[in-house]
Structure 1
Amino acid sequence: MNILVRNLERSITEAELVELFKPFGTVKSAVVVMDAGTNKSKGFGFVDMPNGREAIKAIKGLNTLKVKGMGIRVKAAEDKPEAK
């Protein structure tokens, strides 16, 4: 399951995201979305957890948790509609 993580403190790394989610289960990947022009974090990212049950536990356990002073928002990522 792909998970959207919003309201990230700008210095959070992909490795820190993995460590945050790891207690809930297997983390396939983590990506912090970067601004192409400045190469700085946009304050959100995605975590991929292959086990849906573990992903739901992570969402419930981490939503609104304060990480580096910021209350993160965690939810299942919605698929982008296909461009026509």
Structure 2
Amino acid sequence: MSWGLAAAFLWLIVANVVAMFPSRDQHWTWAYVLIACGIPILGWVTWDSGPIWGMVLLAAGASVLRWPVVFAWRWMRRKGAEPAE
């Protein structure tokens, strides 16, 4: 197993452990930290192990951080529905 995959699996473990603890801000602070750390790890895995592993880990990360993905999708749909100026 490459170091990139090991880092990605460690990221997934940390994300799941963080989700177990109660939080006043519904874990949004941790979500931002995990996104900031996860994007470079995802690029590293894709570069090192190939695009298949990159897509698998992108799906795994999106399932862990599903609410930021849902809100980003809604925001993009709203921006796409606005008339051009």
- TM normalised by structure 2 equals 0.27
Q: Identify which of structures 1 and 2 has the higher relative contact order when contacts are C-alpha pairs closer than 8 Å and 6+ apart.
A: 1
- TM normalised by structure 1 equals 0.27
* Larger radius of gyration between Structure 1 and Structure 2: 2
| Higher fraction of strand | 1
